[in-house]
Amino acid sequence: MPSFVIVEKCDGCKALDKTACQYICPNDLMVLNAESKKAVNQEPEQCWECYNCVKICPQQAIEVRHYADIMPLGSSTIPLRGTDNIMWTIKFRNQKTIKRFKFPIRTTAEGSIDCFKGFTLSSDFADLKKPGFYTGKARTE
């Protein structure tokens, strides 16, 4: 479904230089309404429902009302993304069936990747035209 913004919860990310949802949307859909200071999904029929705006919103002000041409109303799928795991709560249209799942999302601390640490980088540029990466050789059979 296209993401929607709950007016009462959205504070327009006033503490930030741009709104979090506007920063992250891969399809440039989220905009800040200059008058209301609330975020808006400007092109709902181009929304991939990737949930990146939902996951990043510091106010949990964004949810999804699923594609109107496909899905009946009444269900909800809400993520809560932490630093190393994500928790999903899925409520069915019947309001009775509720599923809750928790999955890991990364095994290292955020921001800790140092992709050259521990590797000796080659300055023999003849190697550029040979197989292999700086992290290891290409496989041979």
Partner 1 sequence: MALEREFCKWSFCEKPAVETIETDLLLVGGGMACTGAAVEAMAWAKAAGLKVTLVDKAALDRSGAVAMGLSAINTYIGSENKIADYVNMVRTDLMGIIREDLVYSVGAHVDQTVHDFQDWGLPIWQKDAENHTVDGQVARDEGLPLLKDGGKCVRSGRWQCMINGESYKVIVAEAAKNALGMENIYERVFIVKLLTDKANANRVCGAVGFSVREHKTYVFKCKAMIIACGGVVNVFRPRSVGEGQGRAWYPVWNAGSTYAMPAEIGAKMVLMENRFVPARFKDGYGPVGAWFLFFKAQATNAYGEDYMAKNWDRVKAEYPGYADAPGTCLRNHAAMIEMREGRGPIMMHTDKAMAKLAETLSKKELKHLEAEAWEDFLDMSISAACLWASFNMEPDKMPSEIIPSEPYLLGSHAGCAGLWVSGPAKNYMGAPDSWFWGYDRMTTVDGLFTAGDGVGASGHKFSSGSHAEGRMAAKGAIAFILDHKADKLEAAQNIDEVIADIYLPFEIFEKYKDYTSAPEINPNYLLPKQVQTRLQKLMDEYVAGCSTMYMCNKPSLEEGLKRLTLLKEDATRLAARDLHELMRAWEQYHRILSGEAHLRHILFREETRYPGYYYRSDFLKIDDTKWKVFTISSYDKNTNEWKFETEPYKQLVK
Where does this chain touch partner 1 (CB under 8 A) — which range of 6-14, 32-40, 48-56? Answer: 48-56
CA separation for the pair 95, 111 (Å, rounded): 39
Cα–Cα distance for residue pair 42/101, rounded to 1 Å? 31
Give the active site residue among 36, 42, 43, 48: 48
| Residues between 55 and 74 that touch partner 1 (CB under 8 A) | 64, 66-74
Q: Check residue 128 for interaction with partner 1 (CB under 8 A).
A: yes
Smallest distance, partner 1 to C-beta of residue 118, A? 9
Task: Indicate if 88 belongs to the active site.
Answer: no
What tokens does 36 get?
């209301």
> Using CB under 8 A, which residues numbered 94 to 113 contact partner 1?
94, 97, 99, 101, 103-108, 110-113
How deeply is 116 buried, as exposed, middle or buried, from its count of CB atoms within 10 A (0-12, 13-18, 19+)? exposed
> Residues 34, 13, 81, CA angle at the centre, nearest 5°?
135
**Nearest distance from residue 11's CB to partner 1, in Å?**
21
Residue 8 or 26 with smaller CB distance to partner 1: 26
Q: Which two tokens stand for residue 141?
A: 């059979």
- Which residues have a catalytic role annotated? 48
